[in-house]
Structure 1
Amino acid sequence: MLVRHMKGMRMACALAMGAASLIFSMQADASKGLVAMSQSGMENEWRVVNTKDMEKSWKDAGYDFVWTNANWDPAKQLSDVQDLLARKPKVLIVEPVEYEPAAPVPGMAKKAGVPLIVADRAMPGQPGKDGWISLLTISYEDTGVRVGQDVVAQMTKKNGKPEGKLLHVTGNTGAAPVLEEQKGLDSVFAKNPGIKFVAKCDGRYSREGGRKCTEDFLQSFPKGSIDGIVFDSDDEMIGGLTAIKAANRDDLKGYLWGKDGTADGLRAILDGWASYTVQTPPTFGALAVKVFNDSQAGKPVQPVVYSDKKEFDAHTPEHRALIEQRLKELKAMGVGCC
């Protein structure tokens, strides 16, 4: 009786294990395949939301998803890409650390026979060719134009004409958004030669970088010697604002410009410290899925797909109300950025 009972238990366990294996196999087979992503870094909330959005979009579409963090090291990103391609994903998504160092990526993907989608930042090459499906991005040059236009308007109000000496805390030197945004700024200031950047510093898109750059600036440029500071990100601006407040530099109040439309950046505008910020939406996931599906179906795909954005200031009561509404939206979403 005992032997028969033990045999029965072993058979039941084997059946259960077999059933579990079958279920696992069915789940694995249900996946449409693996999607791989090389993320440039995870230094701020924009990148966190960006990665989460990409992962959720692909998983909702039925794919497995894996990603790596290059930690802002171009050499590590190339190594990450090589490792990801070895896993033979259905598609590889890369958000480049810097423009030129990412040049080998399209060739690597083509050699591995893996379609490539580039997001956020550009890299050398032509989207839509050689297996590079598309570039999903924001027009950073347009962003630079918009920031520059607000700078001109505020300098004109402050000085009676479009004149002013500005400091510039840039993002990562050599990154495509930095280069393109600078083009936009330059195009506006070329028409307003009285406005000039007198110094710049690489804040690496981080709060700490923005704080350190601003501290150094304030030591070199005393009160009355500069008219404002342009930051390539709201995170840098908030870090810079910490230094400005610590140094009691109220002369800069209202003459700070950011980018990204983060909750803290919007609050800085409402508090009167910042003049303007423009969105840099981190949500490329749905676009990536659509571009890939259209490509696989033989449908036409635009080589460059731009994400929409909004700009924010408190120059009028109506604009201030839009910021307050946006802050409510961000709170409802449980995120502090975009």
Structure 2
Amino acid sequence: MKSSIATTALLVAFGAASGAAAQDTLPISGKTCDQLLEQYAGLPFTDILPLEAGPVTVDGSEEEIVVGFSQTGFNHPWRISMLEAAQAEACRHPNVSMIVLDGNVDVAKQNNDVRDLLARGVDAVLLSPVESAALIPASRAVMDQGIPLIVMDRDVPTDKTLFIGQSNVTMGEKVAQKMADDLDGSGNIVVITGLQGSSPAVDRDQGMKNVLENYPDIEVLAVGDGEWIREPAVPIMEDFLTAYEDIDAVFSHAEESSWGAQLAIARANRCEDGILHYTFDGSNAGFKSVRDGTFRADGNYTPFIGDIGMRAALYTLTGREIPGAEAYSQPGQQLALPDSPTVVAENAEEWIGRGWGDFEPPLDPCK
């Protein structure tokens, strides 16, 4: 817990929310605590690890608690939404502040960022890694210092205080099952993954494979790394369309990839092929694309877990047990979050407004 003038100056210089007034604009999100607290009421998991608003007491003291957050990158609104949830929780506690660092989707930079947080003397680290194995050195550095390490969304295969996330395997299975049902168990598909080597990409792929084992007449023609964003997906899909005359569906690990694939389909004058899209991410824009028929299914993967990560860090610092935490296949403990329903045409209207993001989907170039 930090209290010196020098430390406080350091926090302000690097954009922490230390002592943030209700109208102060917080880093990256650009939102005030008033705005974030309005959002807090709508977050989906505030009943998990509940914590009353007000100062957080550690060993009888209400000194400032500084939590570092190392994010994969802020090049995607999903990542900013995760941060907003964490900032909203911090805003509920006047002696809790954050140092937020942007990994720029670079494993070397993110490893250095985590060590930077340690050098600044944070009391806990929230980490959402670029790649799982690549962040082992940084994770070990945190644990070696004996401070809480809360890993979110993407896991690291080394010791940590707690990993928090929804199951990408079961989510992948549900989306793949919808695809198999729509194809009547037979067809040709292509796959655009998330960043290869990241745990969500590995797990969503495994979920798809688990289902396709039961459908030998569904053939995976090709796989490309879409890196979670739209730009790489366009040339990947263009290559697929050049190589294969008969494609029935695209199984993409991210909505951005699906929108990119649909653009490539239009550019190739293949709209009449009726290629179906199955995707993930859970944005309001994605749900609108389901409603409008561009997507057939959207795996409802929420970014609103940053508040749980913050509460887990505060639970640990205050010596409280974490209900629901249990041993799992990786070192450390896991807090498995419940799956959200896969969004399909029948429930899309119900879910619009409950996802993340306030942007509109791109116009469907095939309509």
TM-score band (shorter)? 0.7 to 0.9
Structure with larger Rg: 1
Q: How many equivalent pairs are there?
A: 294
Matched, 1:324 2:352: no
Flag structure 1 segments of 5+ consecutive residues without an equivalent: 1-23, 127-131, 157-161
The AA in structure 2 aligned to 1:82 is R
2:206 is the counterpart of 1:203: no
What SS does the corresponding residue of 1:313 show, helix, strand or coil?
coil
Task: Return the match for 1:306 from 325, 336, 344.
Answer: 336
- Runs of 4+ residues over 4 Å off in structure 1: 26-31, 328-331, 333-337
Mapping for residues 115-194 of structure 1, pairs under 5 Å: 115-126=148-159, 132-156=160-184, 162-194=185-217
Question: The residue matched to 1:123 in structure 2 has which SS?
Answer: coil
The 3 A distance-change label for structure 1 pair 251 and 285 is same
- For 2:291, the equivalent position in structure 1 comes to 270
Match of 1:243 among 264, 271, 280: 264
- Deviation sequence 1:72-101 (CA, Å, 0-9, x none): 111111111111111111110110100111
Q: 1:306 to 1:230 in 2, by over 3 A?
A: same
Contact 2:180 2:215 in 1 (8 A): yes
SS at 1:257's partner residue?
Answer: strand
Q: Is the 8 A contact 2:284 2:353 kept in 1?
A: no
Moved more, 115-124 or 213-222: 213-222
Q: Which amino acid aligns with 1:221?
A: Y
CA distance in 2, matches of 1:297, 1:335: 38
User: How far does residue 183 in structure 1 lie from its aligned partner after superposition?
Assistant: 1.2
Aligned counterpart, 1:94: 127
Distance 1:299 1:81 in 2: 25
Q: Which residue of 2 aligns with 1:215?
A: 238
Residues 18-65 of structure 1, C-alpha deviation per residue, up to 9 Å, x if partnerless? xxxxxx9x9699763211011101222111211222222223233111
37-46 or 289-298, larger mean C-alpha shift: 289-298
AA in 1 matched with 2:194 = G
Name whichever structure is richer in helix by fraction: 1
Is the Cα–Cα contact under 8 Å of residues 238 and 264 in structure 1 kept in the other structure?
A: no
Question: Match for residue 227 of structure 1?
Answer: 248
- Of 55, 67, 77 in structure 1, the residue corresponding to residue 87 of structure 2 is 55
Does the C-alpha gap of structure 1 residues 262 and 27 become closer, same or farther in structure 2, counting only changes over 3 Å?
Answer: closer
Q: Distance in 2 between matches of 1:27 and 1:189?
A: 52
Normalised by the size of structure 2, how large is the TM-score? 0.74
User: Is the contact made by 2:284 and 2:354 (CA closer than 8 Å) also made in structure 1?
Assistant: no
1:57, 1:286 within 8 Å by CA — same for their partners in 2? yes
AA of the residue aligned to 1:106: S
Q: Out of 191-200 and 172-181, give the one that drifted further.
A: 191-200
Secondary structure of 2:161's partner?
strand
Distance between the aligned counterparts of 2:63 and 2:262, measured in 1? Answer: 47
Matches within 5 A, 1:6-17: none
Q: Which residue of 2 aligns with 1:80?
A: 113
Residues 132 and 155, structure 2, Cα contact 8 Å, conserved in 1:
yes
- For residues 130-179 of structure 1, the C-alpha deviation after alignment (integer angstroms, 9 at most, x for no partner) is xx2210111011111111111110110xxxxx111110000001101111
Aligned counterpart, 1:105: 138
Q: Which runs of 5+ in 2 are unaligned?
A: 1-11, 13-17, 21-60, 326-332, 362-367
User: For residues 335 and 144 of structure 2, what CA distance do their matches in structure 1 show?
Assistant: 25
Find the aligned partners of 1:232 and 1:280 in 2 and give their Cα distance: 11
Name the amino acid aligned to 1:245: A
Q: Closer, same or farther in 2 for the Cα pair 1:167/1:334, shift >3 Å?
A: closer
CA distance in 1 between counterparts of 2:71 and 2:212 reads 33
TM-score of the superposed pair, with normalisation by structure 1? 0.80
Q: 1:254: Cα distance to partner?
A: 5.8
SS at match of 1:79: helix
Alpha-carbon distance, 1:71 to partner: 1.1
Q: Which structure is higher in RCO with an 8 Å CA cutoff and minimum separation 6?
A: 2
How many Å separate the matches in 2 of 1:67 and 1:276? 33
- Between 303-312 and 34-43, report the one with greater CA deviation: 303-312
